[in-house]
Structure 1
Amino acid sequence: SAVLPVLQKNPKNAALATRLLTRVRQEMTKNIAMQITPDQKSLTLIGGRTLIAPEITRYAGAFINGLDRPQIRIDFTQHCLSAMIKSERFLKDK
C-alpha cells in the first residue's frame, strides 16, 4: 500500500500505478468470492463441481484457499483479512 504514493509522484509511472490499482481490485474481488457466508451450504468449484456441506455455515467468515481445493486454514483467512483492511485504505480515494 505504500508503493502507490511513490509511483504517483512521477508521471512516468502512471501506467504502472493504474495497473497496480487494477490488480488490487481484481484480487480483492477474488478474495471476497472465496469467503464463506453465514447462509452458505455449498461451494461451486472449478469445472462446475459443487461441494455440498450443510455444516459449512460453522465456518462463516473464513476464506477457502482456492476454487480448486476447498480448504480452510486460519493463516489464509488472516492473510485475506489483512489484505482487505490494507486495500480499504489503499483504494479509499482511488
Structure 2
Amino acid sequence: MEEAKLDFDGLVEEDDAHVQVWIRRILSGQAQVLNVSFIRLGNPPLVSRHLRKLELTDTALEANILDLASCPALEDLIMASCILSLCKISS
C-alpha cells in the first residue's frame, strides 16, 4: 500500500485503541503517505522507514512528545486545524 487515508469523523472514544492498531498496521505495510482526520492521538504510533508524507487534519495530539525520529524518510508534515498538547516535537 502506497497511500492511506483514515477519516474517523463520528468515531467514539472507546475506539481509540483500535485506531492505534490501524495506524501501526498501515505503517508496517510500508505506506509512503498517511492522511489522518478527526481523531485524538496520545503517543502516536509513528514508526516507519518508508513514510514520506504525514497529513493530520482536525486531530488532537496529546503526549509528552511527538517523536518523528523513527520516520527517517519523512519529508512533508502537514497539520491543519490540529490541537497540540505536547511538550516537545522531535525529529
Q: Which has the higher strand share?
A: 2
Question: What TM-score results when the alignment is normalised by the length of structure 1?
Answer: 0.29
Q: Which has the higher helix share?
A: 1
Question: What TM-score results when the alignment is normalised by the length of structure 2?
Answer: 0.29
